[in-house]
Amino acid sequence: MTDDFFEGFFAALRLRDQEFVETRDNVHHERFRAVAAMLQRQRAEHLDGSDELPRAFKPTMATGLYSELDDALLRFQAGYGRSPNPSYPGLKLVLTGQQAKDVLLDFSPAARELLDRLADAFLAAQPKPRAVGIPDPV
């Protein structure tokens, strides 16, 4: 379910003309924090389509980062993503608009709408730089 979620999430980002997911200074984690919070609210409210998406994403206690997000970005490189590893400032989303639409067809209309909202939340989030490995205070 997590792999499918991220494929749909990246497709929704691509349909918003997002061609690059910045990873420098872990800004993708800061932005994903908004996505994780919204996803948790959607599940708690039992919104249509939310049962097709992961229950929740939690940052690790040691780093405050989302390991599932980094794992998904690494896997995505083998398909619709490209980055200049080993040290990369981000991941280029190389899937076309039509490929993104095709990916989203695997989700119900309600789940697609939720993925759209999550992509909007990611793009709207204003990351604040912080030291790597230091989790946010609770």
Strands (E), the chain: 20-22, 81-82, 90-93
Residues across the chain: 138
Q: Is 97 exposed, middle or buried (0-12, 13-18, 19+ CB in 10 A)?
A: exposed
Domain parsing of the chain, residue ranges? 2-124
Tens digits of residue pLDDT in 87-122: 567 888 888 999 999 999 999 999 999 999 999 999
Tens digits of residue pLDDT in 14-43: 999 998 888 888 889 999 999 999 999 998
DSSP class of residue 78? T
Helix axes 27-44, 109-124, angle to 10 degrees: 140
- Write down the pTM of the prediction: 0.82
Q: Euclidean distance between the first and final Cα of the chain, in Å?
A: 28
pLDDT score of 73 more than 70: yes
